[in-house]
Structure 1
Amino acid sequence: METTRLKTDGAINVVGGATFRNILFIGAGEKIELLLYLGRILTAAGKRVLIIDATAQQKYRYSIPEIAKGNLLTEYDGFDVATGFGKQPNGIHEVLQLYMKSNKERIESYDYILMDTDTVEFLSDIPKAPWHEIHEHILVTNSDRFVVERNAELLGSYVKDTVIPFTKVQYPAVDTQVKEDYLDSVLSHLNIQFDENREIEIYFDEMDHAAKINNQYESVIRLKGLARSTKKALYGLAKAVSVEEGNTLKTAMKLAEKGK
């Protein structure tokens, strides 16, 4: 399907003539849909987007259609998804760069690289990777005890002496008896700084779940059908990770709702 794009002039880092912005999503919970929706919004805003599946189970293989055997890079609804790495002794970054070089692609050609990880191995390799400079850190969390404890382990392996600003995304957010103070205390020993003004909550909604399933089987990403509160949260997330103007993102979201 043809993708409608807007021309924009966002101020993004420039290296070797290419613009890029590296966004790292860390979290033990499910966050595939967040990155796919975000990729679709940024693509509709006229940006070239790459999503890197650096998760242990490589679940993106089952969320996007028509991955040819042996392909590590697949175009999906206007943006690229890198998935299917399996166990890589040399690190995902080396394998992906060799694959892209053989296909005459350059990782620096993307405007946005969105990385989804739940592994210590990928986090430890970041200093050696072409995306070693992370422009935005996003912690995706929820009240599930496994997610809370595992996220603490992941961040403990990644965060060292320098304080790192994070945007916190509660997904899916649900009302529980667990106090927010306890959830925050699990990470209190780490050099992490959360911006309260950029904390995003996306509550579980049956409409969102239905939209996710429909998108999977229709092989397209549409924001139409999502709950209004979810679309508002996705706009906030897009603003947090990008340098695009608010009006540009609003127009891009309207295009993404229509599947254009």
Structure 2
Amino acid sequence: MNTWIFAGLCDKSDTLVHICKLLASGGSSVLLVDASEKRRYPYFIGGLGEKLCITEFAGFDVACGFGDSAGLKAYFRSHGGALEHYDYVLYDLELPDFCAKEDWLSASELVWVTDYEVWTLEEGGKWLSEAVLRYFDPGVRPEMKRLIVRAVEEWFGPSYLDGYFERLPVRWKGDPVVLPWNELDYSLKLRNEHAKRIHMKALTRTYKKRLCGIFETFTDWDRKQIQRALKNAERSQA
């Protein structure tokens, strides 16, 4: 099982459903865990008036309504399952107490997700600093990757972001992956939310190229495998 924790205070729900859709289109079993503060995912998958636990959506499972990872694991045990049955488990983590220390320490990838908003960079930095102090031994600087979402323009550049990143108690792995964002991508996000579907074909070419770049960085998939998964995801209208 690969566990990816995507931590950060910005809305990254559209990015994570795209990643999960690609993973599922590549033949992997996937669980996406909603640990966002606003509990966004029921709005994606429908059933707002129902008590959602594990819901299949667009070829992968989504876990909603759990207070913490311990409750999630207890649910699987009570239903004769386990998180380990999935190839990939992804956490959209905003709630500071959702993941336990063992979740942080055993994660295959720790990913810091932010946008360019000053509030997100400042408050997100405080959030991350407190999380490191809480879940890691004194002096330990965990390795994390960086993902920048909803980048309307890239005039900031890596050196500008380093002013925010370098003061955090983390060892950064590689350069940030920057996902561009324009009115076409935003329009598709709204259409997908209202339709309760994931349509990826209309995403801009640059966005899809950077999205595939995440897979080159995070997985051992080769380019042919990634492109095949993308084409499968584009054909699927689920």
Same fold, judged at TM 0.5 (above): yes
| Cα offset, 1:53, TM superposition | 0.8
2:3 aligned with 1:26, yes or no? no
- Which one is further off, 242-251 or 145-154? 242-251
Could you tell me which residue of structure 2 aligns to residue 98 of structure 1?
74
Could you tell me which residue of structure 1 aligns to residue 143 of structure 2?
165
Deviations 1:21-50 (A, max 9, x none): 010101111100111000000001110000
Q: Helix, strand or coil: the match of 1:50?
A: strand
2:43 aligned with 1:70, yes or no? no
Letter in 2 for 1:34: T
Could you tell me which residue of structure 2 aligns to residue 175 of structure 1?
153
Q: Helix, strand or coil: the match of 1:116?
A: strand
Map residues 238-257 of structure 1 onto 2, 5 A cutoff. Answer: 238-257=215-234
Q: Helix, strand or coil: the match of 2:32?
A: strand
Q: Distance in 2 between matches of 1:97 and 1:188?
A: 35
Map residues 224-235 of structure 1 onto 2, 5 A cutoff. Answer: 224-235=201-212
2:120 pairs, out of 135, 147, 151, with 147
2:46 aligned with 1:81, yes or no? no
Letter in 2 for 1:65: G
2:52 aligned with 1:52, yes or no? no
Q: Helix, strand or coil: the match of 2:221?
A: coil
Could you tell me which residue of structure 2 aligns to residue 126 of structure 1?
101
Deviations 1:76-127 (A, max 9, x none): 0110011123xx3xxx12211222233332111000011111232125x232
Task: Quote the sequence identity (%).
Answer: 26
- Which one is further off, 23-32 or 58-67? 58-67
Q: Distance in 2 between matches of 1:111 and 1:177?
A: 37
2:166 aligned with 1:193, yes or no? no
| Cα offset, 1:138, TM superposition | 1.4
| Cα offset, 1:68, TM superposition | 7.0
Q: Contact conserved, 2:129 with 2:169, CA < 8 A, in 1?
A: no
Q: Contact conserved, 1:26 with 1:117, CA < 8 A, in 2?
A: yes
Map residues 2-13 of structure 1 onto 2, 5 A cutoff. Answer: none
- Structure 1 alignment gaps of length 5 or more: 1-19
Could you tell me which residue of structure 1 aligns to residue 180 of structure 2?
203
2:90 aligned with 1:117, yes or no? no
> Larger helix proportion, structure 1 or 2?
2
Q: Contact conserved, 2:36 with 2:92, CA < 8 A, in 1?
A: yes
Q: Contact conserved, 1:67 with 1:74, CA < 8 A, in 2?
A: no
Could you tell me which residue of structure 1 aligns to residue 192 of structure 2?
215
Q: Contact conserved, 1:25 with 1:140, CA < 8 A, in 2?
A: yes
2:13 aligned with 1:40, yes or no? no
- Structure 2 alignment gaps of length 5 or more: none
Q: Helix, strand or coil: the match of 2:201?
A: coil
Q: Distance in 2 between matches of 1:155 and 1:24?
A: 12
Q: Contact conserved, 1:220 with 1:259, CA < 8 A, in 2?
A: no
| Cα offset, 1:132, TM superposition | 4.5
Q: Distance in 2 between matches of 1:40 and 1:179?
A: 29
Q: Helix, strand or coil: the match of 2:197?
A: coil
